[in-house]
Structure formats: C-alpha cells, structure tokens
Amino acid sequence: MVIAANIVIVAGIIFMLFGIIGLFRFKDFYPRILVTSKIDTVGAITLIIGLIIKHGLSFFSLKLVIIIVLLLLLNPLSGHIIARSAFLSDSSLRDEFDDGYGGV
C-alpha cells in the first residue's frame, strides 16, 4: 500500500508541476485563472488521496476526506469569483503582458 500511495502522491506533484508550466505558458488572465483553479483542485486532491492510502482508514483519513469535500466546493467557487470580479471591473488584459513579438 505504501508504494501505491507514493505513486499517487508523485502523480499529484506531477500534476502541480504541469500546472506551473501552464501558468507560465499562458499570457492572459483568464486562461491563467483556469489553469490555477483546475491544477490546484486536481493536484491537491490527488496528494490527499495518496495520504489517505498511506495512512489507511483512521480519524486522520476522515479529516482528509472533509478537506477534499471543502476543496471540491470552494476552489471552483473562488476561481469563479476572481474571474467574475476581473470581468466586471473591465480590466484590460493585453496591456499587462509583453510577449516580445510586438503585437504580432
């Protein structure tokens, strides 16, 4: 069980690393908020599932399941609130970033 748990934990870390790469790859705000909210949810839940497998069924695992439920409820909500507030404030997206291509 420890080997399976370590594999799941490493998979969660790999998800988060891909998310960091995706965060630097996108230049606009909205794709960045999409990547961060998805990777934060998927990576954290994968790590927590690995911890549940590693520790077995216990009171600690119950706490981790509660954290997973809260992550599933609050991470998409917070990403939506941040994106909606940026949309309603009518922030300009292209003025913040210079891709080095001169607007091509």
User: Is residue 94 predicted with pLDDT exceeding 60?
Assistant: no
The residue with tokens 């001169």 is 102
Q: Encode pLDDT of 2-53 as tens digits.
A: 999 999 999 999 999 988 888 888 888 888 888 888 888 999 999 999 999 9
Q: Per residue in 50-82, pLDDT tens? A: 999 999 999 999 999 999 999 999 998 998 998
Task: Give the predicted TM-score (pTM) of the model.
Answer: 0.78
Which DSSP string corresponds to 37-73?
A: HHHHHHHHHHHHHHHHHHH-SSHHHHHHHHHHHHHHH
Amino acid at 63: K
Q: From 88, 89, 103, 84, select the one nearest 30 (Cα to Cα).
A: 84
15 SS3 class: helix
